[in-house]
Amino acid sequence: MKKITVALGLFAALAFSPAAMAAKNPELTYQVNLNDRTDDRFKVTLNVKGLKADNNIYQFASTAPGTYQTMDIGRFVSAFKAFDKKGRELEVKQISTNQWQLSKPEKVRKITYQVAETWDTKVDKNMIYRMCGTSLEQDHALINGQGVFGYVKGLQAAPLKVKLDYPQEWLIGTALKPDTKGYYTADNYDQIVDSPILLGNLTKAETKYKGTTIDIYTYSKTGMVKSEDLMANMTAMLGAANAFVVNFPVDRYTFLYHFEDQDWGAWEHSYSSEYVFKEAPLTPEFASRITDVAAHEFFHIITPLNIHSEIIERFNFETPTPSQHLWLYEGTTEWASDMMQLRGRLIDLPTYLGDLREKLYFDDRMDKNYSLQKLSLTSYTPEGQKQYGNIYNRGALTAALLDIRLLELSGGKRGLREVINELSKEYGPKKAFPENKFFDLFTAKTYPEIGDFFNRYVKNAEPLPVEEYYGKLGISYKPSVKTGKKVPALGYDFGFEDGKLMFTKVSDEILKAGLKDGDVLVAKDGVNITLQNAQQELGKLMAAKPGDTHTYTVLRNGKEVQVKTTVLEKEEEKKHLFEINEQATPQQLALRNAWMQNL
């Protein structure tokens, strides 16, 4: 996933290969009633035949690949029932948050339940990111598979069909393909999770790019943003992406856009990606931001679609197992999304370096001792979630340095792009790499020095050698420069955790005023702060002057507290400055020239 308000990453898990066993599997046909949308609940029916005694548990997802958050979809489920072939109700029992036990699975012919949409259903904790959730409104619906469907124990790999009942005037956007009867087919449950569905009053645009069909479906609350305009803005990015990966490894790809009242981000999948943006006129700036996010998500067709570990290939929806290679799936993808735009001339070098600067600023706010490997392995935990956004920042920075190191060792002939493309040919959607051997495999494919690089900057958290490495390209970097000028300083920062805005890095001066790290922001100067207005209201702090006061209402230990703070003054410090060295040596220029193009 790509960061916006929330940062995230990976795609829904890859397909099993059930074709040879299809005849032995029970018949599974899901039906979802989208005509009844009055109570924000999806009405789901599973028609099933051929269950056995060990198919006695119906499982809802505890999470989904690429979200790195606890979802517990069972929290949203109600009216779960099972029936035999004569319509008689059979006993079922909820045995955990996400599991219902079937008393007589051999007799079950139909299972029904209702599941509340996640967007408008309040929860006390583990709020589900909107781009990973579900929405059911009068003019549209968003289905992420794990938020609507479950699976019967032992049948995660079984093929299935989905019938959607919806208003005749609605369009439907999804990477799934319908059969001749209009049923959407999937090889297995993993593919359903990997294939979001957007329905409603949508616009559609389609193009073919070198053999790959590109579809865009868009829901825009007032019709302000249309698919054809998004497609026009995406053409250059697709060209840059195609040059970067040589050829798209998919025959089709579907972009699903939702524009309403909030910015949340995006979620990538094997053959599609979905985006939740706040509706606004499609200005050049807004279009550029959308394209930047799309570039990140689209590159996931390389990793982890083609390059992924065995853990990702068969996802455990009951008890997820994290992969230590999140640096590859998200960090390398974020690096590639920027690099393909630089090399495709969509952005210039100063703009690219400015983006690096923003990533370094973000890294400053994170725990410097938290390695990328540790972040990957703790990504499902509250501790790891606090650091998660750094996979798009420190992760991308590390990939950028790895690229430079590879170019240097190869004499400018082979960088990270070239190695990634080689790996995508060696592995693929149905061929995973061994989880615990990938560092060794990558090192063996490149240079012994790369093993040392992984040890230092991925497995451990040594300070990144930004100045040294960019110096090899004739680009100077200074981590900090003090100007002597006095400027205002708030003395605190803001963070986002579990759907709440909170204060972080509170200075000693502001601590004395009564504000504390971890205080949850409720209101600023009498204005209640929500996710919808936070960017606008907190953005006003950019105009603060020394001596200005602000009164915050914060939630601390379950009680609301008011704290008055005063804007401080400090010496201006400019951080993370990049400058192109006009006196670069021929060797530096040669390496920079190689770095600036696809080899």
pLDDT of residue 414: 97
* Together in a domain, 497 and 416: no
Q: pLDDT over 90 for what percent of the chain?
A: 74
Kindly tell me the sign of the dihedral angle through the C-alpha atoms of 117, 122, 125, 131. Answer: positive
Confidence band for 95, pLDDT divided at 50, 70 and 90: very high
Domain membership flag for residue 444: yes
What is the β-pairing status of strands 559-566 and 549-556?
Answer: antiparallel
* Together in a domain, 408 and 336: yes
Please say if the pLDDT value at position 20 is more than 60: no
- 504: closest CA among 514, 491, 488, 513? 491
Average pLDDT (30-54) is 96
Domain membership flag for residue 578: no
The tally of domains found in the chain comes to 3
Of 299, 332, 360, which one is at a domain's C-terminal end? 299
Confidence band for 21, pLDDT divided at 50, 70 and 90: very low
Query: Which structure tokens are listed for 573?
Result: 């410090």
Dump pLDDT digits (tens) for 160-214: 999 999 999 999 999 999 999 999 999 999 999 999 999 999 999 999 888 899 9
Asked if 477 contacts 467 with a C-beta cutoff of 8 angstroms, the reply is yes
* Together in a domain, 531 and 437: no
What is the number of other CB atoms lying within 10 angstroms of the CB of residue 52? Answer: 12
Can you tell me the distance from the alpha carbon of 493 to that of 502, in angstroms, rounded to the nearest whole number?
Answer: 8
Can you tell me the distance from the alpha carbon of 90 to that of 79, in angstroms, rounded to the nearest whole number?
Answer: 13
- 209: closest CA among 180, 178, 248? 248
Average model confidence (pLDDT) across the chain? 91
Average pLDDT (40-58) is 97
Domain membership flag for residue 459: yes
Domain membership flag for residue 312: no
Query: Which structure tokens are listed for 177?
Result: 């393909």
Helix, strand, coil share of the chain (percent; to 5): 30, 30, 40
* Together in a domain, 259 and 362: no
Residue indicated by tokens 């559609």 = 204
With a CB cutoff of 8 Å and minimum separation 6, the contacts of 405 are 449, 450, 453, 469
Q: What is the CATH number of the domain that holds 295?
A: 2.60.40.3650
Please say if the pLDDT value at position 578 is more than 70: yes
pLDDT of residue 4: 41
Please say if the pLDDT value at position 248 is more than 60: yes
Please say if the pLDDT value at position 18 is more than 80: no
**Rounded alpha-carbon distances, angstroms, from residue 207 to 234, 235, 259, 267, 337:** 11, 9, 22, 22, 21
Please say if the pLDDT value at position 589 is more than 60: yes
* Together in a domain, 414 and 380: yes
pLDDT of residue 7: 36
pLDDT of residue 1: 57
SS3 category, 172: strand
Average pLDDT (487-502) is 84
Please say if the pLDDT value at position 104 is more than 90: yes
Q: pLDDT over 70 for what percent of the chain?
A: 95
Asked if 366 contacts 493 with a C-beta cutoff of 8 angstroms, the reply is no
- 136: closest CA among 199, 230, 226, 46? 199
* Together in a domain, 441 and 504: no
Dump pLDDT digits (tens) for 215-226: 999 999 999 999
Q: What is the CATH number of the domain that holds 433?
A: 1.10.390.10
* Together in a domain, 159 and 24: yes
Domain membership flag for residue 554: yes
Can you tell me the distance from the alpha carbon of 263 to that of 269, in angstroms, rounded to the nearest whole number?
Answer: 19
**Long-range contacts of the stretch 223-232 (C-beta < 8 A, 24+):** 224/259, 224/279, 224/280, 224/281, 224/282, 225/257, 225/259, 225/279, 225/280, 225/282, 227/202, 227/203, 227/257, 228/203, 229/282, 229/287, 230/205, 230/255, 230/257, 230/282, 230/287, 230/290, 231/205, 231/207
* Together in a domain, 375 and 521: no
* Complete edge-to-edge strand list for the sheet that includes strand 57-59: 92-96, 99-102, 57-59, 151-152
Can you tell me the distance from the alpha carbon of 415 to that of 545, in angstroms, rounded to the nearest whole number?
Answer: 47
* Together in a domain, 171 and 280: yes
Domain membership flag for residue 14: no
Per DSSP, helices labelled H in 176-278 are 189-193, 227-245
* Together in a domain, 395 and 526: no
Q: What is the CATH number of the domain that holds 544?
A: 2.30.42.10
pLDDT of residue 500: 81
Please say if the pLDDT value at position 546 is more than 60: yes
Dump pLDDT digits (tens) for 283-299: 999 999 999 899 888 88
Average pLDDT (58-75) is 92
Average pLDDT (59-65) is 94
Comparison of pLDDT for 509 and 313, the residue scoring more: 509
Q: Lowest-confidence range among 4-8, 82-86, 248-252?
A: 4-8
Domain membership flag for residue 584: no
Q: Lowest-confidence range among 51-55, 163-167, 269-273, 589-593?
A: 269-273
* Together in a domain, 392 and 445: yes
* Together in a domain, 399 and 531: no
**Rounded alpha-carbon distances, angstroms, from residue 412 to 218, 312, 333, 593:** 42, 33, 21, 9
pLDDT of residue 68: 81
Rg (the chain; Cα; Å): 25
Of 264, 299, 334, which one is at a domain's C-terminal end? 299
Domain hosting 96: range is: 19-299
Confidence band for 456, pLDDT divided at 50, 70 and 90: very high
Comparison of pLDDT for 66 and 87, the residue scoring more: 87
What is the β-pairing status of strands 527-528 and 549-556?
Answer: unpaired
What is the phi-psi region of residue 499: left when phi exceeds 0, alpha when psi lies from -120 to 50, beta otherwise?
A: left
Average pLDDT (64-77) is 91
pLDDT of residue 214: 95
Can you tell me the distance from the alpha carbon of 254 to that of 173, in angstroms, rounded to the nearest whole number?
Answer: 8
Query: Which structure tokens are listed for 207?
Result: 């193009």
Q: How far apart are the first and last CA of the chain?
A: 27
Domain membership flag for residue 136: yes
User: Helices (H) and strands (E) in the chain — how many of each?
Assistant: 17, 29
Please say if the pLDDT value at position 5 is more than 50: no
Dump pLDDT digits (tens) for 400-436: 999 999 999 999 999 999 999 999 888 888 888 999 9
Q: Lowest-confidence range among 142-156, 195-209, 494-508?
A: 494-508
With a CB cutoff of 8 Å and minimum separation 6, the contacts of 412 are 590, 591, 593, 594, 595, 599
Comparison of pLDDT for 45 and 124, the residue scoring more: 45
Q: Lowest-confidence range among 232-236, 379-383, 582-586?
A: 379-383
